[in-house]
A and B are shown apart, each in its own frame.
Chain A
Amino acid sequence: MQLAVWTYEGPPHVGAMRVATAMKGLHYVLHAPQGDTYADLLFTMIERRGQRPPVTYTTFEARDLGKDTAQIFQDAAREAVTRFNPQAIIVGASCTAELIQDDPGGLAEAMGLSIPAIPLELPSYQRKEHWGAAETFYQIVRHLADKSVVREPREGRKARANILGPTALGFRHRDDLVEIRRILDTLGVEVNLVAPLGASPAEIARIGAADFNIVLYPEIADEASRWLEKNFAQPAVRTVPIGVGATRAFIAEVAELAGADPTPALGDTSSRMPWWSRSVDSTYLTGKRVFIFGDATHAAAAARIAREELGFEVCGLGCYNREFARVIRAEAAACGVEPLITDDHLVVEDAIAAACPELVLGTQMERHIAKRLGLPCAVISAPVHVQDFPARHSPQMGFEGANVIFDTWVHPLVMGLEEHLLTMFREDFEFADEHGASHLAAHSPKAVRAPALSEAPVADIPAPAAATAPAEGSLWTPEAERELKKIPFFVRGKARRNTEVYAAAEGIARIELETLYDAKAHYAR
């Protein structure tokens, strides 16, 4: 048993719903008790979809258990097929139905439906949402791909690609797709199929007609793409084009497979991020300590962008999906930090508090952690929140995605000259650092409060590490402590930590004013 307050991923059948909801002409018959229909609201409320997800739930009750829940399943399946007239159905069980072992796959097969009924085995007590989405997509492709499809010779036609991975309830999938289509268009590559988003079972049958696959979200499309590689000899582009560097690499990789000239796509004049980053006003971004946590794909991409494109220092990196931990381990090694692979948000909270970052890049969970710790934060990954479905175009991928990322990550920070002013005139009653950055919504003179780090919720289940931090103040002489408070809040945590590490290393028991400045000199870059 695992004690959880909040979770990064839902159960695997929610992953299957994300695939089904993304597609057209597919229906999901889900053996599940009353109450599991809550999942509909993820799509209708968080994503604001104007249609119900194409899911029929059997919603059995306790009184049905002694009788024939299998019959309830078959009735529901038959009614769903008649009413919604899908081209294919996927069938499976949620966690409770898994326990009663009705075998929805076998039951559907026995019904002799005139359309394909694809059975899903999604072990709810072992696996989670992303795995469920990947497995569902793989089963759909495996069952529906027409193996007799033969690719025409490449001569005299454009190269064709499948774009694999975007689903319903994905983090900016809708907008990423627009950017990828734009790149392919510039390269003269035809899109054979986008799947699961917008694809019908009939279109999935034609998946083999593409020359290669583009795996946009490995969490969802990796397994299917490997099967396609084997069965249709379709190579895959696995570079995820998040960030300027990755977008350039992606363009080169696609151009190579398509036999196209990458120059026009690489020369996209709407790519502003490199210059924005080189512009002198961005100098203050240098070496900002950033803590990154999310799904492996977005977290790894964020780490690369942070280091190579914004000049940040990555002080923490992790992901919640163990299946893709390898990517994070490699990236963490490059950043010189210990990878944090966990789906326990309390562990992440402790790690963030301990790392004293100046910026947190994470999920909605980390946004709340950052809020509690008084740190600036930007959201980079699922699990999604209603705010992750902005009305405007807001991609993460491609050059425009990099532009969006620059804005999203930099705006929560205190900006260049303001940072200097706050440092110089610490005692200004109208412009002290407790007021936060002047361009942010929260800017209104606050009463002077205890440092944000001590505001961590003592009421929460665990006592976060940060809550105990100020108690170590006894290590500090009052004079040194006062001097520390003159350091702006966004670097104070780092200064405190560095000084304490330095003191410990030097065997200094009590931190004096001098120790603070010795440590500053020691850590000077």
Chain B
Amino acid sequence: MSETALLDGCSADYAPPAGSPSRDARPVLRERGQREVFCGLTGIIWLHRKMQDAFFLVVGSRTCAHLLQSAAGVMIFAEPRFATAIMEERDLAGMADAQEELDRVVTRLLERRPDIKTLFLVGSCPSEVIKLDLAKAAQRLGAQYMPRVRILNYTGSGIETTFTQGEDTCLAALVPVMPQAEPNADKQLLIVGSLPDIVEDQFLRLFAELGIQNVGVLPARNSRDLPSLGANTRYILAQPFLAETAMALEDRGAKRIDAMFPFGAEGTSDWLAAAAREFGVDEATIERVLAPGRERANKALGKLRGELAGKRISFLPDSQLEVPLARFLQNELGMELVEVGTPYLHRAHMARELAHFADDVRLSEGQHVERQLDRVRADKPDITVCGLGLANPLEGEGFTTKWAIELVFSPIHGFDQAADLAELFARPLRRRDRLEV
């Protein structure tokens, strides 16, 4: 019996394989307990840079402002396009009408920032708990400020969203305002999920070379340039955490292209090829267009394989990127997956990824952080991927770690970033070996 089998919660909570008898119907360790994760507000940190004419106003508490400052402050201290409307005692005690207060804050903000074209009112834990109706506020304020400013709302609250799910709820809020495509419009490809600009441009070049003309991206860099949407839209997810956005797109008739996620040579090839096939591109063209990038990626990865092959890795739940990244590290770099934890496992979107996992990979969903750390201590992986709150404490115990948030803040998708992605995992190991103090 393995050491972890003896640990509290490691064997008892194994859910029986659920649903379909497909290959990925492996057992999942489902846990409830302390979750050491960011809330969805954190997504604002990259979304406000991605959408250059949008402003994010969190309606929340001092804690929300402090979170954004602490999570973002270490990285960017320059003019942010986000702020917090901090609720105070008088807002809660009914001395001030919260909706009126919000109007006042929004008016002040829009007066000072005439460059804002889209304003997101972002719900937080306290605003959700007191049931402050931000949809109503967005509608009311929108009526006042349209067409100059479009006002939308979504929730980034911790009680409803985990970290990257904040992007999901934000993009889902954009779907209803995407223009309707003509019923007889040409088939259109929609790339869904915010990508670093350089990666987005690479993908757009590749799709152009593949001969796919009509390509839109969500979110668009300019939030007022939203692509149109309709029954002829085929969308492909560039990020693995967009369940709600996908549902909203399906509701408007768009159909998902099933593919692996574009991490590594294999994932990127599969992703591009799946889209190309959907658009009737012939195999020879696909091969011709993809081959150079794939070869470059493989060549660059070859240099890192020696450092990573055979190394054992555990993922603690963080961004929902865990499953596709684990697949990449296993398949293309020969790493051994010990535990792959994810805050939420979307079986349909992950099906093609999970099919690659070895049978003995421990898959966990949700979190009980204390038990999970017990498992890390028992498993003794070579590298542990975890949040910023846990990284230094684990290093203090002698574990090598990779902070997960860097995976969300770095260009890691596509052929030409495959080695950069691998490097993020190789560097902590190399550093550990190099330091003599």
Contact = CB atoms under 8 A, between A and B. Distances in A.
A459 B129 contact: no
A4 B35 contact: no
B88 interface: yes
A41 interface: yes
A460 B79 CA distance: 5
Given A33-B158, A45-B392, A99-B126, A38 B38 contact: yes
B83 interface: yes
Interface string A1-25: 1111111011101100000000000
B63 interface: yes
Nearest to A37: B36
Given A2-B88, A45-B74, A461-B113, A10 B62 contact: yes
Nearest to A124: B61
Interface stretch (B65-73, B187-195, B266-274, B355-363): B65-73
Given A38-B67, A52-B390, A95-B61, A1 B86 contact: yes
A457 B389 contact: no
Contact of A1 (B105, B113, B128): B105
Contacts of A62: 128, 157, 159-160
A460 B59 CA distance: 19
A358 B38 CA distance: 41
Contact of B61 (A40, A51, A58, A96): A96
Given A61-B160, A62-B160, A99-B130, A52 B393 contact: yes
Given A10-B62, A95-B62, A461 B34 contact: no
A38 B129 contact: no
A59 interface: yes
A60 to B, nearest CB: 7
B129 A44 contact: no
A461 B370 contact: no
A11 B78 CA distance: 23
A60 B74 contact: no
Nearest to B162: A34
A96 B129 contact: yes
A51 B66 contact: no
B110 to A, nearest CB: 10
B153 to A, nearest CB: 16
Contact of B83 (A3, A96, A386): A3
Given A2-B86, A45-B74, A125-B92, A57 B34 contact: yes
Nearest to B62: A11
Nearest to A368: B77
Nearest to B106: A3
B283 interface: no
Given A1-B87, A96-B61, A99-B92, A37 B125 contact: no
Interface in B69-105: 69-71, 73-74, 77-80, 82-89, 91-92, 96, 98, 101-102, 104-105
Contact of B125 (A5, A95, A126): A95
Given A1-B85, A1-B101, A65-B159, A124 B63 contact: yes
A156 B41 CA distance: 61
A95 B83 contact: no
A462 B109 CA distance: 9
A79 B392 contact: no
B387 interface: yes
A1 B99 CA distance: 10
A13 B61 CA distance: 12
B39 A34 contact: yes
B65 A4 contact: yes
**Chain B interface bracket (under 10, 10 to 19, 20 to 34, 35 or more):** 35 or more
A100 interface: yes
Interface in A92-125: 94-96, 99-100, 123-125
Nearest to B60: A95
B348 to A, nearest CB: 21
A368 B126 CA distance: 30
A385 B105 CA distance: 29
A457 B78 contact: yes
B388 interface: yes
B80 A33 contact: no
B35 A37 contact: yes
A61 B389 contact: no
Contacts of B159: 33-34, 60-62, 65, 96
Q: Most B CB atoms within 10 A — which of A35, A45, A123?
A: A35
Nearest to A3: B105
Interface residues of A, number: 61
Interface string B380-403: 000000011111110110000000
B389 A40 contact: yes
A258 to B, nearest CB: 39
A42 interface: yes
Q: Most B CB atoms within 10 A — which of A40, A96, A100?
A: A96
B400 to A, nearest CB: 14
A45 B159 CA distance: 25
A83 B373 CA distance: 13
A83 B61 contact: no
B54 to A, nearest CB: 14
A13 B39 CA distance: 17
A4 B83 contact: yes
A34 B37 contact: yes
B108 interface: yes
A512 B62 CA distance: 50
Contact of A51 (B87, B388, B396): B396
B406 interface: no
Contact of B85 (A3, A59, A457): A3
A261 interface: no
Contacts of A123: 89
Interface string B1-43: 0000000000000000000000000000000011111111110
Contacts of A3: 83-86, 105, 108-109
B388 A125 contact: no
A128 B61 CA distance: 11
Q: Most A CB atoms within 10 A — which of B34, B36, B42?
A: B34
A447 B98 CA distance: 50
B112 interface: yes
Contacts of A419: none
Interface in B141-168: 157-160, 162
Contacts of B73: 6
A50 interface: yes
A65 B150 CA distance: 32
A33 B387 contact: no
B63 A11 contact: yes
B67 A50 contact: no
A51 B389 CA distance: 9
Contacts of A57: 34
B295 interface: no
A56 interface: yes
Interface of B: 33-42, 59, 61-63, 65-67, 69-71, 73-74, 77-80, 82-89, 91-92, 96, 98, 101-102, 104-105, 108-109, 112-113, 115, 125-126, 128-130, 157-160, 162, 370, 387-393, 395-396
In order of increasing CB-CB distance, the 7 nearest A-B pairs are A35-B39, A35-B158, A50-B396, A40-B389, A96-B125, A95-B61, A41-B388
Given A45-B392, A65-B129, A95-B125, 4 more contacts: A7-B62, A44-B389, A46-B70, A124-B61
Interface of A: 1-7, 9-11, 13-14, 33-42, 44-46, 48-52, 56-62, 65, 76, 79, 83, 94-96, 99-100, 123-126, 128, 364, 368, 385-386, 457, 459-463
26 contacts: A2-B85, A3-B86, A4-B83, A5-B82, A7-B62, A10-B63, A11-B62, A14-B63, A34-B37, A35-B157, A37-B35, A37-B36, A38-B38, A41-B71, A41-B389, A44-B391, A45-B392, A50-B396, A59-B33, A61-B160, A95-B63, A95-B125, A96-B126, A99-B130, A457-B78, A463-B112
